[in-house]
């Protein structure tokens, strides 16, 4: 059981990395209030917002971050983390302008070096939402060059795939999503495999799309992406002609 906010944050981060979003949200109940530490408390909330939106609870994730700015002002990593999470949520909930404003507030220098790639990936997603596709492509490529962690290298392929799909470059998008799925880092990533399946459907490769959707369910089973993949896979089954 975590016995301090610092160890709680480590435990939350670890469960999210394994795709155990529900387990991450259960962990704070184990915390002793007397062990509070402000920066760790903020990071716990920022990470739990990720658990919530991965489950499809976008409004809950947004609400979790409300009112944290005065506390975060003293901690660079928390300031940047709040801005990036808000940008990510806004980009996925139809608020492109808001996503870009929050992303621009995040200072790259406020983040540890090994999180720089994620800063650019967030910017690419915000710019896709805003229809700024050339800027999104530049951002994704900058993030790719900044990767340090194995998870970031896998995510770089997925983000570049998102950009290619947004540009209508379906064959290139399929190649990038396939490479992301084949990357040795297998944690999370349901959203990329869901999009891979969508691209394969567009290319008329329904059998392969079903396999991509099945991977989203297998590797990221708690995620909203897995739920959507189940529905879309069933839709392919319904639409296939009888043998």
* Contact by Cβ (8 Å): 110, 80: yes
User: What confidence tens digit (pLDDT) does each residue in 40-54 have?
Assistant: 889 999 999 999 999
Name the 3-class secondary structure at 178.
helix
Q: What is the pLDDT at residue 33?
A: 44
For residue 209, is pLDDT > 80? yes
Q: What is the pLDDT at residue 32?
A: 47
1 confidence band (pLDDT: 50, 70, 90): very low
Average pLDDT, the chain: 92
Q: Could you tell me the residue ranges of all domains in the chain?
A: 1-74
Count Cβ atoms within 10 A of the Cβ of residue 58 and give its class: 0-12 exposed, 13-18 middle, 19 or more buried.
Answer: middle
The mean per-residue pLDDT over the stretch 16-29 comes to 92
For residue 78, is pLDDT > 70? yes
For residue 25, is pLDDT > 60? yes
Could you give the dihedral angle defined by the CA atoms of residues 6, 57, 150 and 42, in that order, rounded to the nearest 10 degrees?
-20
Higher-pLDDT residue of 201, 2 = 201
Among 131-145, 169-183, 228-242, where is mean pLDDT lowest?
228-242
What is the DSSP code string of 131-171? T-HHHHHHHHHHHHHT--SHHHHHHHHHHHHHHHHHTT-HH
242 confidence band (pLDDT: 50, 70, 90): very low
Higher-pLDDT residue of 206, 241 = 206
For residue 63, is pLDDT > 90? yes
Q: Which distant-in-sequence residues (6+ apart) come within 8 Å of 220 by Cβ?
A: 19, 54, 188, 189, 190, 191, 193, 226
Distance from C-alpha of 187 to C-alpha of 64, rounded to nearest angstrom: 24
187 confidence band (pLDDT: 50, 70, 90): confident
User: What confidence tens digit (pLDDT) does each residue in 152-161 have?
Assistant: 999 999 999 9
Element (H, E) at 195: helix 190-202
The mean per-residue pLDDT over the stretch 161-168 comes to 98
């Amino acid at each position: 059981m975590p016995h301090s906010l610092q160890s709680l944050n480590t435990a939350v981060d670890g469960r999210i990395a394994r795709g155990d979003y529900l387990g991450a949200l259960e962990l704070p109940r184990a915390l002793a209030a007397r062990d509070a530490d402000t920066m760790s408390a903020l990071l716990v909330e920022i990470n739990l917002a990720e658990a919530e939106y991965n489950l499809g609870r976008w409004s809950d994730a947004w609400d979790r971050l409300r009112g944290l700015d005065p506390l975060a002002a003293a901690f660079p990593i928390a300031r940047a983390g709040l801005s990036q999470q808000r940008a990510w949520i806004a980009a996925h909930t139809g608020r492109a302008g808001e996503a870009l404003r929050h992303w621009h507030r995040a200072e790259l220098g406020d983040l540890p070096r090994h999180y720089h790639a994620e800063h650019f990936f967030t910017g690419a997603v915000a710019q896709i939402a805003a229809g700024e596709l050339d800027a999104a492509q530049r951002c994704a490529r900058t993030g790719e060059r900044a990767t340090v962690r194995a998870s970031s290298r896998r995510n770089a392929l997925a983000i570049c795939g998102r950009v290619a799909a947004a540009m209508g470059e379906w064959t290139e998008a399929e190649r990038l999503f396939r490479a992301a799925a084949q990357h040795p880092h297998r944690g999370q990533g349901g959203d990329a495999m869901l999009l891979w399946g969508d691209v394969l459907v567009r290319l008329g490769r329904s059998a392969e799309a079903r396999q991509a959707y099945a991977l989203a369910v297998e590797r990221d089973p708690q995620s909203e992406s897995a739920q959507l993949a189940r529905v879309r896979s069933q839709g392919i089954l319904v639409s296939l002609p009888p043998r």
